[in-house]
A = this chain, B = another copy of it.
Amino acid sequence: MDLVRTSIERYVKLTDPEWAEVEPCWKRYSFAKGEFISHAGRVETRAYIVEHGVQRMYHEHDGNEHCLGFAYGNSWSGDYDSFVGQRPGRFQVQALTESSLVGIERIDLLRLYDRIPAMDRWGRLIVEELIQGRATREIEQLTLPAEERYRRLLKRSPHLMQLVPQKDIASYLRMTPETFSRLRSRVL
């Protein structure tokens, strides 16, 4: 669980007694390739940090899948939107590779928020960071042509191309697999 403490302490410092209270709340969860971590329509009760593996989050509508993002490294995973709002989720989160996540139940997190002010602050800082990432992505969607978005993604996460199906990257970049395929052969 060092991963968790490191993750949290990138934002706020915890005393040892505080950590003693935080630590037992986190549990490890394993998912096989293709397995779902969050299901659309269900209220998400856990938030996760990725230990290893890659997951995709997507929205499904009329049989079309719209990929909103990937999780890997030590980032967040799970349907954070449903988790904070405690409303039926509008996204699916699926393991694209065999994955190990470390998760906390909402009820436990709320208790930590009440008992440890640093954790409340940590919650704020995490969401503030999330919102900045969303803004960056929205700007890129608005202003960059498809090819440039692809180049930036390649630069930012070169390994992603090896890890996830191209159709998901195409969807994430807001284009069809056909267009993406043509773009790649053109750019390469």
Let me know if A66 is at the binding interface, CB within 8 A. Answer: yes
Q: State the copy count for this chain.
A: 2
Q: Residue on B with the closest CB to A122? A: B124
Given the complex of chains A and B, what is the CA–CA distance between A81 and B85 in angstroms? 21
> A142 near B81 (CB under 8 angstroms)?
no
Let me know if A59 is at the binding interface, CB within 8 A. Answer: yes
> A84 near B120 (CB under 8 angstroms)?
no
Given the complex of chains A and B, what is the CA–CA distance between A68 and B143 in angstroms? 12
Report the interface size for chain A: residues with CB under 8 A from the other chain. 28
> A134 near B132 (CB under 8 angstroms)?
no
> A84 near B132 (CB under 8 angstroms)?
yes
Task: Enumerate chain B residues within 8 angstroms of A127, measured Cβ to Cβ.
Answer: 124, 127-128, 131
Task: Enumerate chain B residues within 8 angstroms of A128, measured Cβ to Cβ.
Answer: 84-85, 127
Given the complex of chains A and B, what is the CA–CA distance between A143 and B62 in angstroms? 9
- Interface residues in A37-95 by Cβ distance below 8 A to B read 59, 61-62, 64, 66, 68, 80-81, 84-85, 90
Q: Residue on B with the closest CB to A61? A: B143
> A84 near B131 (CB under 8 angstroms)?
yes
Given the complex of chains A and B, what is the CA–CA distance between A90 and B134 in angstroms? 13
- 26 interchain pairs (CB within 8 A)? A59-B139, A61-B142, A62-B143, A66-B142, A68-B138, A81-B131, A84-B128, A85-B128, A85-B132, A90-B135, A113-B121, A117-B117, A117-B120, A120-B120, A120-B121, A120-B124, A121-B124, A124-B124, A127-B127, A127-B128, A127-B131, A131-B131, A131-B134, A134-B134, A134-B138, A138-B138
